[in-house]
């Protein structure tokens, strides 16, 4: 399975939105080790939301992996322990043009999720990696509207 999205993307619940969806089109990622998608249309009720991505008001999601996947180093021959465990960092970045003040040019909101996986865990403990992602995504989905409300109100 690859790190990719299928269009349309069903959005998480948000205050004032009804059944949000995002039609996405393949875009050019900033790095060769990533995939990027641009929103080409929105669905559901999302009053005030730009209907698509543009250069001045981007609405994109980028999925990336490390350019070079790190491997485990040799075990210390004296102690039998790893000296250090390198990490492979995967990122999901959403960029959205927003208006900071009426009549002003757009500024870009950046939301970055970084997942640091210890090298070697992919082979020896995939079930627990999947469990961590299941909890993360389930938690984000269950508090989607609360996160949006907090970002708008400043109240956590």
Rounded Cα distance, 122 and 125, in Å: 6
Q: Would the pTM of this model clear 0.85, i.e. be above it?
A: yes
Cα within 13 Å of Cα(76), Cβ side: 8
The pLDDT value recorded for residue 4 is 82
DSSP line for 101-151: STTSPPEEEEEEEEEEEETTHHHH-HHHHHHHHHHHHHHHHHTHHHHHHHH
| 3-state SS assignment for residue 46 | coil
Element (H, E) at 40: strand 34-45
In a domain, 2, yes or no: no
The pLDDT value recorded for residue 3 is 76
In a domain, 46, yes or no: yes
In a domain, 41, yes or no: yes
Rounded Cα distance, 91 and 1, in Å: 17
Question: Residues for the chain: how many in total?
Answer: 156
The pLDDT value recorded for residue 156 is 87
pLDDT in tens, the chain (156 residues): 477 899 999 999 999 999 999 999 999 999 999 999 999 999 999 999 999 999 999 999 999 999 999 999 999 999 999 989 999 999 999 999 999 999 999 999 999 999 999 999 999 999 989 998 998 998 999 999 999 999 999 998
Counting the structural domains of the chain, the total is 1
Q: Which domain holds residue 32?
A: 9-69+85-153
The pLDDT value recorded for residue 1 is 42
What's 56's domain CATH number?
2.40.160
């Amino acid at each position: 399975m690859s790190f990719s999205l299928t269009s349309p993307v069903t959005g998480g619940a948000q205050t004032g939105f009804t059944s949000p969806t995002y039609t996405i089109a393949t875009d050019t990622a900033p790095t060769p080790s990533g995939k990027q998608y641009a929103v080409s249309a929105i669905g559901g009720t999302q009053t005030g939301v730009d209907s698509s991505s543009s250069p001045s008001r981007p609405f994109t999601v980028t999925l990336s992996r490390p350019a070079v996947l790190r491997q485990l180093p040799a075990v210390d021959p004296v102690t039998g322990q790893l000296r250090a465990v390198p990490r492979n960092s995967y990122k999901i970045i959403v960029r959205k043009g927003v208006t900071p003040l009426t009549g002003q040019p757009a500024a870009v909101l950046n939301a970055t999720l970084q997942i640091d996986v210890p090298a070697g865990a992919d082979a020896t403990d995939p079930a627990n990696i999947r469990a961590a992602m299941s909890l993360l995504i389930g938690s984000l989905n269950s508090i989607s509207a609360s996160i949006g409300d907090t970002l708008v109100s400043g109240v956590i």
